[in-house]
Chain A
């Protein structure tokens, strides 16, 4: 019944929503048209005010541009002024009267200054043209006049003539500068104009004087043809300026006023720009224009229109989806009913469908209650299965523990046997160590006696070497004495030689009478030669003996040092032997303690072996009990499994089927349990041999 009513109401609602959206769009469009028309006039005010600001700046720039004296600048200034007047006349709004009055108030000085500039335009242009012409020709004129001066310097002319000729280029230069000052329109441009007029007259008079001669000033007539030609060329270039001197001088006043007008425009432009900026702010702050600008209109009207269109589209798409959901929901319910009829209680219809959701909800609730009933029936059986699994796991753990206990008993028995054997070996080794220690003690005692003998012998050697050293020192002293005696004999020989030589000299002086003395002198010389040879030989051998004695002395001192070192070593050896002796005694005590400990360890190992035998007996009994428990558990498990298989015919969830197949490891556990018992028994059979041996040890 709900399904039949809902589509009609929905269609009516959708129709009404569509009509409302269309009406809304129409109203929005009409409002936009009307407001946009109202906003247009105020937008025009903003454009005019922007144009006025731009024109005010352009008028100021154009006024500054007239300083160059170009006609185009004056024309531009006039055009910009007219445009400003025109734009100002386009503003006619009661809300802007105050700002427009301020603009008009600041515009009037500008307008008057522009009028002044426009009036002065012809003279300014004329002065600019004349100045440009003079600037262009002044170089050429000065060059020609300089040529005239050069020619006059080579000619025999008067000094006044030469001075006048040299003054002419300088006057041209000053006229050009004064013309620039007149054009600038500064405060002193009237002075410049007067000076310009005076310079022009002077220049004309000089040229006249040079051309025709002037007795009053003393300027002579130029007779050189080249000078005359240069002078004529210079004056031809100057003649246009000469004819307009009065006009230029008269323009000074206008140009000065024009400069003042430019300054006035610059000053008034600031206030004018400020007034225009206030006008722009006032235009922007008009309420309608700020609120209903094109951007705001777009945000306020066009966006809701787009939203209304989107709503219409959403309504259409929703209607189409609802129809398809209805067909899909009915199909889903039919499929679920077919599965339930076949016994599958896990089948469920989708409740997400807005049309068939309530039907599916009822159907799913029914199947859920049926599944709950089946689950409640199966729960005790599942608990029994869990308990049986726990018992099975416990029995399996007991089997595992029994296996580990058996292995531990075997390892403990082996360890005890090893301990007994090791203790016997330790006792044997300690006996040998004790014998060795006694032998070492005896050897140490012998070494101690030997060190005493060595120490005594070393002391004797040291004393003997010291005595020998004393004797060697005495011997060395005697050798030094002999050396000194031999050297003295050599000195005596030298003196005897002197006597012999002098004897021979005196004998030669005596002539025939001195001949016997000559023979005596020769004999003395022969004897001296032999004595010198023998004396030299004696000194050499005595020095050799002295060196040998020194070597022996050094060797003996080294020997004494070595003996002292040996004595130190012997003392260290003595102390080391005493320490070894004390260490050997301590080792003997340790060996005896180890021997006692080894005997106690052997007794403990035998006691542990007998305890292992009792543990093994108890383990056999526990194994038999576990076997009976396993059989009972297997029978109970089979009964429970049969009941669960019957209930498993109902499928109540995706994983509802019972795992009725017995775990593959269960039988193996029983077999392994038995195998563990058998291993234990086999160990028990093999153990006695080792055990007997161990006990024998």
Chain B
């Protein structure tokens, strides 16, 4: 019952089997954590992707009276004005008089649009998610605003949690004191 057509089909099948390229096997996709390596107040940090709006050179600022010491002032950005905050003063809780910070990162959240000065700026980095270390101790001034981190060589890069930063009541109120505010309202 073996017809030539069938035989030809079998031969074609065997030939294809011997010469055909093997089907591609789907490789195991590694799940990486991606973020930007930077530094605030001398502490190396990571900011996850999607958290930053932009990295800009620190603009010239105009001081705002009646605000807390970590509010450097307002600067122009893309045709508008945004507040520029000093990362050194806010996190260290003391005045800063060192080298001027050249860059700052711009963050935007509902109700918040501001820039924080950076002490260092490196690049985007990837780390395997499973290597995330949630137990390593970080700088006490940054402990409340970090969620774990990754080891990079001998150093440890803590992940800055922008949501925790914005939720902080002290950060949310930039006015110097309530009394001053009331007085202004009376006027």
A residues with CB within 8 A of B:
494, 497-498, 500-502, 504-505, 508, 521-522, 525, 528-529, 532
Residue contact A500 to B124, C-beta cutoff 8 Å:
yes
Pairs across A and B, CB under 8 Å, 12 listed:
A494-B103, A498-B56, A501-B52, A501-B55, A501-B123, A505-B53, A508-B49, A508-B50, A525-B124, A528-B123, A529-B123, A532-B123
Using A498-B55, A498-B103 as known contacts, say yes or no to A504 and B124 having CB atoms under 8 A apart. Answer: yes
- Indicate with 1 or 0, residue by residue over B29-52, a CB within 8 angstroms of chain A CB atoms: 000000010000000000001101
Give me the 8 closest cross-chain CB pairs, A-B, nearest first: A525-B123, A498-B55, A525-B124, A497-B123, A501-B55, A528-B123, A501-B36, A502-B54
Q: Which B residues are in CB contact (< 8 Å) with A525?
A: 123-125
Q: Tell me the bound Cα distance from A564 to B50 in angstroms.
A: 70
Residue contact B49 to A500, C-beta cutoff 8 Å:
no
Residue contact B55 to A522, C-beta cutoff 8 Å:
no
Residue contact A497 to B53, C-beta cutoff 8 Å:
no
Kindly state whether residue B121 has any CB partner on chain A within 8 Å. yes
Kindly state whether residue B122 has any CB partner on chain A within 8 Å. yes
B34 CB to closest chain A CB (Å) equals: 9
Q: Tell me the bound Cα distance from A173 to B121 in angstroms.
A: 116
Other A-B pairs beyond A501-B36, A528-B123, 17, CB < 8 Å: A498-B56, A498-B103, A500-B123, A500-B124, A501-B52, A501-B55, A501-B123, A502-B54, A505-B54, A505-B55, A508-B49, A508-B50, A521-B124, A525-B124, A529-B123, A532-B122, A532-B123
Q: Tell me the bound Cα distance from A498 to B125 in angstroms.
A: 13
Residue contact B121 to A497, C-beta cutoff 8 Å:
yes
B183 CB to closest chain A CB (Å) equals: 42
Q: Tell me the bound Cα distance from A494 to B58 in angstroms.
A: 14
Number of interface residues of B (CB under 8 A): 16
Residue contact A522 to B49, C-beta cutoff 8 Å:
no
Q: Which B residues are in CB contact (< 8 Å) with A521?
A: 124
Counted as pairs of residues, one from A and one from B, with CB atoms less than 8 Å apart, the total is 38
Residue contact B123 to A505, C-beta cutoff 8 Å:
no
Using A504-B49, A508-B49 as known contacts, say yes or no to A497 and B122 having CB atoms under 8 A apart. Answer: yes
Q: Which A residues are in CB contact (< 8 Å) with B124?
A: 500-501, 504, 521-522, 525
Interface of B is mostly: strand
Q: Tell me the bound Cα distance from A522 to B124 in angstroms.
A: 7
Residue contact B50 to A498, C-beta cutoff 8 Å:
no
Which residue of A has the minimal Cβ distance to B38? A501
Q: Which of B57, B102, B122, B124 has the most CB of A within 10 A?
A: B124
Residue contact B121 to A494, C-beta cutoff 8 Å:
yes
Which residue of A has the minimal Cβ distance to B120? A494
Q: Tell me the bound Cα distance from A502 to B77 in angstroms.
A: 14
B24 CB to closest chain A CB (Å) equals: 21
Q: Tell me the bound Cα distance from A76 to B54 in angstroms.
A: 139
Q: Tell me the bound Cα distance from A498 to B103 in angstroms.
A: 9
Q: Tell me the bound Cα distance from A679 to B121 in angstroms.
A: 123
Q: Which A residues are in CB contact (< 8 Å) with B103?
A: 494, 498
Which residue of B has the minimal Cβ distance to A497? B123
B114 CB to closest chain A CB (Å) equals: 16
Which residue of B has the minimal Cβ distance to A499? B55
Within 8 A of A (CB), among B55-88: 55-57
Q: Which B residues are in CB contact (< 8 Å) with A522?
A: 124
Which residue of B has the minimal Cβ distance to A491? B102
Q: Tell me the bound Cα distance from A494 to B124 in angstroms.
A: 12
Which residue of B has the minimal Cβ distance to A522? B124
- Indicate with 1 or 0, residue by residue over B110-129, a CB within 8 angstroms of chain A CB atoms: 00000000000111110000
- Indicate with 1 or 0, residue by residue over B144-170, a CB within 8 angstroms of chain A CB atoms: 000000000000000000000000000
Q: Which of B54, B55, B102, B121 has the most CB of A within 10 A?
A: B55
B162 CB to closest chain A CB (Å) equals: 14
A530 CB to closest chain B CB (Å) equals: 11
Residue contact B121 to A505, C-beta cutoff 8 Å:
no
Q: Tell me the bound Cα distance from A143 to B56 in angstroms.
A: 115
Which residue of A has the minimal Cβ distance to B105? A501
Q: Tell me the bound Cα distance from A605 to B173 in angstroms.
A: 126
Q: Tell me the bound Cα distance from A265 to B123 in angstroms.
A: 137
A487 CB to closest chain B CB (Å) equals: 13
B46 CB to closest chain A CB (Å) equals: 12
Q: Which A residues are in CB contact (< 8 Å) with B53?
A: 505
Q: Which B residues are in CB contact (< 8 Å) with A500?
A: 123-124
Q: Tell me the bound Cα distance from A529 to B152 in angstroms.
A: 13
A504 CB to closest chain B CB (Å) equals: 6
Q: Which B residues are in CB contact (< 8 Å) with A505?
A: 52-55
Q: Tell me the bound Cα distance from A500 to B53 in angstroms.
A: 13
Q: Which A residues are in CB contact (< 8 Å) with B55?
A: 498, 501-502, 505
Which residue of A has the minimal Cβ distance to B52? A505
Which residue of A has the minimal Cβ distance to B102? A494
Which residue of A has the minimal Cβ distance to B57? A498
Q: Which B residues are in CB contact (< 8 Å) with A494?
A: 102-103, 121
Q: Tell me the bound Cα distance from A522 to B35 in angstroms.
A: 11
Q: Tell me the bound Cα distance from A498 to B120 in angstroms.
A: 11
Q: Which of B52, B102, B121, B122 has the most CB of A within 10 A?
A: B122
B113 CB to closest chain A CB (Å) equals: 15
Q: Which B residues are in CB contact (< 8 Å) with A504?
A: 49, 124
Q: Which B residues are in CB contact (< 8 Å) with A497?
A: 121-123
Q: Which B residues are in CB contact (< 8 Å) with A501?
A: 36, 52, 55, 121, 123-124
Q: Tell me the bound Cα distance from A497 to B102 in angstroms.
A: 13
Which residue of B has the minimal Cβ distance to A527? B123
B128 CB to closest chain A CB (Å) equals: 16
A501 CB to closest chain B CB (Å) equals: 5
A142 CB to closest chain B CB (Å) equals: 83
A491 CB to closest chain B CB (Å) equals: 9
Q: Tell me the bound Cα distance from A494 to B118 in angstroms.
A: 12
A507 CB to closest chain B CB (Å) equals: 10
